[in-house]
Structure 1
């Protein structure tokens, strides 16, 4: 039987406007921000961030949005629909449900390693929850950036392969291999074999039983039961200026694919949303978090999570 290839094709098309007309447009655009903030029907507010100063749309796309969104995934086991809970509330926030297990918001800077940051967030979160707070650690996305040969380091990657790596190899603590690829550079082919601190042992934390989760109620059930999940979606230009509210894109310029951790859900202003942890630092959005409308950018189409091994 010939191999299946449809599960590795990017699902988001290259947007002609994004590549040509607006390629050299500054990311921080006061006129766009004013347009968003002056129209209350949009349901969210925008602002400028210094992290995007002197950066163009083209540079931003090249630096941050290399995640490949797959058209389908027939290989990864799916979360059984019969597991769906019937007691799903209107609002849920993992930060209040498991107060002692809230991973810190990280900053990927100008390296397109959202696939590693979000997977590490989810694994650490689930490990803390599964151990009732006894194992509350910060994992190393840098190790995965340097060592995961199935993905493309700062040039992006695939969600499913990030979990394949966490199952087969695992990742150590962030104090063992600190983040050093923030400027978009990494040491190709030099996977570390020992911690930066010589006296520290390189113990790795692994995942198991990774599942592809489809359907809104299944995603909600997974978050409520086990903790956050990893989600990939298509990003539009205006997300960079998000400040508060429920995000729905206003402009049509596509930047590319991005991955985040979904940690909750709710309803605000009549809009159903997912609560997400981003990796653009704690000064972006709502202290590093944002609310994104259900269905926005295909947010429910690429959702993965594995169980923590402990």
Structure 2
């Protein structure tokens, strides 16, 4: 009898801890919002103080938005994720980190080389892209984007698989950037060049807060010699630059709709050109007649399409190919 009770207790526990079916629906019934919220709290391990009622109301409003956007798109493009209990203002304070208002016009003007870019491209297939990482509640996207670019440049130059390099080193050693105000990838390239290069992630793991620069020069594996903004004149130039250089640091404009992205080729419902987030451009392709960019984000694998998103090509969506592109120099 005792053994039977133990088995039943274990099965009940497994059901309780793994049944998140209410979170994955084509349409969210707001009358059932409390039950959905409870599963959300459990899955994403949320802990609230006395503001739980406030976050529940925000959650319900976001469910209503998701229902509306999916109806407009005619597809299940948006859904619940770790950010569904946050307003866009709250989300922006912690999960972005690129401020286009403070960007300079310095950089190298990209001159097309005349190469014929392939019809589709995914630098992951060449091994130039490391696994998806998570910036957590720190506006360090610029450091993740820059580090991903260095990883790709090193792998491409050495014809090898990408090594997961230290984002924390990129964050700590770039003096101007931080978790609150964000920063710029090209400043990270210069900082790493001054340090002699980038260490492995395992030797300088991510902490989610900015600290003192603690580079150990004897553990540097990727020698960074510099880097800069790359002035592309539009998406055609960007496509060629991606095919020529490998994964690129870019900026995009993130809005409330984008944070709820769940998969598919994203086309913003309203224009969004004020870049506020740095990401890593890794490829492009098409879904039927719709061409898209393939982009690696830094919000973990549970966001979007396993941590990636596809952005419609040819419409300057989210400001891509307009505001910012950068690339490191790696020996």
8 Å contact 1:248–1:296 — kept in the other structure? Answer: yes
Matched, 1:37 2:54: no
8 Å contact 2:169–2:215 — kept in the other structure? Answer: no
Q: Unpaired segments of 5 or more residues in structure 1?
A: 1-23, 196-200
Matched, 1:148 2:174: yes
| Runs of 4+ in structure 1 over 4 Å off | 24-28, 70-73, 251-256
How far apart are the structure 1 equivalents of 2:199 and 2:253? 30
8 Å contact 2:140–2:179 — kept in the other structure? Answer: yes
| Structure showing the higher helix proportion among its residues | 2
Superposition RMSD on alpha carbons, in Å?
A: 2.7
Where do 1:1-310 residues align within 5 Å?
A: 25-26=58-59, 29-40=62-73, 45-49=77-81, 51-69=82-100, 73-81=104-112, 83-85=113-115, 87-96=116-125, 98=126, 100-133=127-160, 136-169=162-195, 170-181=197-208, 185-187=209-211, 190-194=212-216, 201-203=218-220, 205=222, 206-214=224-232, 215-250=234-269, 257-294=276-313, 295-301=316-322, 302-309=324-331
Relative to structure 1, the CA distance from residue 92 to residue 159 in structure 2 (aligned partners, 3 Å threshold; closer, same or farther) is same
Report the alpha carbon displacement of residue 95 of structure 1 after superposing the two structures with TM.
1.9
Relative to structure 1, the CA distance from residue 143 to residue 257 in structure 2 (aligned partners, 3 Å threshold; closer, same or farther) is same
Q: Which of the two has higher C-alpha Rg?
A: 2
- Specify the alignment match of 2:49 in structure 1: none
How far apart are the structure 1 equivalents of 2:164 and 2:281? 18
Aligned pair count reads 269
Relative to structure 1, the CA distance from residue 252 to residue 101 in structure 2 (aligned partners, 3 Å threshold; closer, same or farther) is closer
TM-score (ref. length: structure 2): 0.73
Q: Unpaired segments of 5 or more residues in structure 2?
A: 1-56
Higher relative contact order (CA 8 A, sep 6+): 1
SS at match of 1:130: helix
TM-score (ref. length: structure 1): 0.77
Report the alpha carbon displacement of residue 209 of structure 1 after superposing the two structures with TM.
4.8
> More deviation in 289-298 or 104-113?
289-298
